[in-house]
């Protein structure tokens, strides 16, 4: 199987006809100049040593070298073999709280950024496990479904912020329900849900939803972000500068407190564990180590072609052609001129 890694560079080959036209034009102009000075004895002596055919050869070498360089730039590749790659792992959704309370800075730089940092580190460590992310506040939405495309997962994770879900609130139950819709229960795989939130559930019955998920075999882990004593929620202006803290109708600063009790209960129902986030530890790493002890299933096999780069051959050919063009002289080669069948005719024309 043959392909070009960067076929867009092949458009540069369209410059070759322009190079050829330029060469023809220069040759025509050179011919006119010769006719103007044809009676000059000095010009005749100089022109006898110049080989017009070598000029054509040198121009051809340059154009061929250019073509080889373009092909090398396009990086031709040849498929060498087909390999079957089997992958195994668990199906894991991370439900990430993106409510305004996640902007509290009792965990640095804030609760949301701490959570995204841990998820990013987890994605970097994955090998075969499928991962998906659900964002929630007052409602829950799937940011990206279960995938093994970790590069794409990292990009989609970067764009998550507190504006990802328009509905205010913290609906943990809605996040559990959304994960249940996103898991494929027809596949006999180990399913894991990790909930990362400050735990202030204020919408729906998260406990009942956790029970429903556990009945279907979903293992639930929870990570609490924040402090039980509470922290204010900063408010920023359009330039990113903090201008105030969130206040209630009476003008008092609102404190967002970590609700560990409900998170511990949800994790217990889901036969998982509860972790409290800190500035120094990576709680998702501990969860991943626990997940690795679970039974993993083979969830698919894919075939792919491994390609070998061949650009170096064209690059070497271009170098050789340019080297020959540099070494090749414009002057006639006497021993070669002896074998020119038109040599006598050209000499007779000069005499006339």
Domains and CATH numbers, the chain: 2-75+310-351 (no CATH), 85-300 (3.40.50.410)
Judge whether residue 169 has pLDDT over 90.
no
Residue labelled with tokens 């070598």: 54
pLDDT tens, 130-147?
Answer: 999 999 998 999 999 999
- pLDDT above 90 covers what percent of the chain? 43
Contacts of 241 (CB under 8 A, 6+ apart): none
Whole-number pLDDT of residue 137: 92
Say how far apart CA 131 and CA 146 lie, in whole Å.
5
Judge whether residue 24 has pLDDT over 80.
yes
Beta bridge partners of 128: none
pLDDT tens, 234-246?
Answer: 988 878 788 888 8
Contact (Cβ atoms closer than 8 angstroms) between residue 158 and residue 56? no
Judge whether residue 332 has pLDDT over 90.
no
Judge whether residue 306 has pLDDT over 60.
yes
Q: CA distances (Å), 72 to each of 13, 24, 316, in order?
A: 12, 27, 9
Whole-number pLDDT of residue 55: 77
Angle, helices 150-158 vs 111-125, to 10°: value is 170
Whole-number pLDDT of residue 208: 93
Whole-number pLDDT of residue 349: 47
Structure tokens at 178: 């959304």
Whole-number pLDDT of residue 343: 52
Predicted confidence band of residue 209 (pLDDT cuts 50, 70, 90): very high
More confident residue, 331 or 301: 331
pTM reported for the whole predicted model? 0.60
Contact (Cβ atoms closer than 8 angstroms) between residue 255 and residue 277? no
Judge whether residue 89 has pLDDT over 60.
yes
Contacts of 325 (CB under 8 A, 6+ apart): 58, 61, 62, 65
Query: What does the pLDDT average to over 318-334?
Result: 80
Cis peptide before 109 (omega within 30 of 0): yes
Predicted confidence band of residue 345 (pLDDT cuts 50, 70, 90): very low
Number of other residues whose CB lies within 10 A of the CB of residue 158? 10
Say how far apart CA 75 and CA 68 lie, in whole Å.
11
Predicted confidence band of residue 202 (pLDDT cuts 50, 70, 90): low
Q: CA distances (Å), 158 to each of 5, 97, 153, 183, in order?
A: 28, 15, 9, 23
Judge whether residue 63 has pLDDT over 80.
yes
Of 183, 168, 87, 169, the C-alpha closest to 134 is: 183
Whole-number pLDDT of residue 301: 47
Whole-number pLDDT of residue 65: 93
Q: CA distances (Å), 200 to each of 46, 177, 263, in order?
A: 95, 17, 9
Contact (Cβ atoms closer than 8 angstroms) between residue 219 and residue 287? no
DSSP string, 98-146: -SGGGG--SSSS-HHHHHHHHHHHHHHH-SS-EEEEEEESSSEEEEEEE
Pairing verdict, β 218-224 and 274-276: parallel
More confident residue, 204 or 100: 100
More confident residue, 31 or 104: 104
Contacts of 139 (CB under 8 A, 6+ apart): 165, 167, 171, 174
Predicted confidence band of residue 129 (pLDDT cuts 50, 70, 90): confident
Query: 73: buried, middle or exposed (CB in 10 Å: 19+, 13-18, 0-12)?
Result: middle
The mean-pLDDT minimum among 8-12, 146-150, 151-155, 229-233 falls in 229-233
More confident residue, 338 or 1: 1
Query: What does the pLDDT average to over 114-140?
Result: 92
Judge whether residue 88 has pLDDT over 50.
yes
H/E stretch holding 172 reads: helix 172-182
Q: Which of 32-36, 221-225, 234-238, 294-298 has the highest mean pLDDT?
A: 221-225
């Amino acid at each position: 199987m043959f392909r070009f890694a960067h076929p867009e560079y092949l458009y540069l080959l369209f410059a070759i006809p322009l190079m050829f036209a330029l060469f023809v034009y220069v040759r025509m102009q050179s011919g006119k100049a010769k006719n103007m000075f044809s009676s000059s004895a000095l010009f005749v002596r100089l022109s006898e040593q110049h080989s017009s055919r070598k000029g054509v050869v040198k121009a051809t070498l340059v154009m061929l070298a250019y073509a080889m360089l373009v092909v090398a730039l396009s990086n031709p590749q040849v498929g060498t073999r087909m390999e079957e790659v089997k992958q195994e792992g668990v199906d894991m959704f991370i439900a990430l709280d993106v409510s305004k309370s996640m902007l509290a800075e009792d965990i640095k730089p804030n609760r949301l950024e701490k959570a995204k940092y841990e998820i990013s580190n987890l994605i970097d460590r994955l090998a075969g496990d499928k991962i998906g992310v659900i964002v929630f506040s007052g409602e829950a939405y799937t940011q990206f479904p279960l995938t093994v495309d970790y590069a794409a997962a990292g990009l989609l994770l970067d764009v998550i912020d507190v504006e990802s879900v328009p509905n205010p609130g913290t609906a943990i139950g809605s996040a559990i329900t959304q994960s249940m819709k996103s898991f494929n229960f027809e596949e006999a795989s180990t399913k894991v849900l990790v909930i990362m939130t400050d735990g202030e559930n204020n919408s729906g019955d998260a406990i009942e939803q956790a029970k429903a998920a556990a009945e279907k075999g979903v293992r639930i882990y929870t990570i609490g972000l924040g402090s039980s004593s509470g922290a204010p929620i900063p408010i920023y202006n359009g330039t990113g500068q903090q201008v105030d803290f969130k206040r209630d109708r009476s003008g008092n600063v609102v404190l967002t407190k970590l609700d560990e009790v409900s998170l511990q209960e949800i994790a217990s129902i889901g036969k998982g564990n509860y972790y409290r986030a800190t500035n120094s530890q990576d709680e998702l790493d501990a969860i991943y180590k626990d997940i690795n002890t679970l039974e993993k299933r083979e969830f698919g096999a894919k075939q792919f072609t491994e390609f070998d780069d061949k650009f170096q051959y064209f690059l070497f050919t271009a170098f050789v052609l340019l080297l020959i063009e540099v070494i090749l002289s414009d002057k006639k080669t006497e021993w070669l001129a002896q074998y020119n069948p038109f040599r006598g005719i050209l000499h007779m024309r000069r005499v006339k």
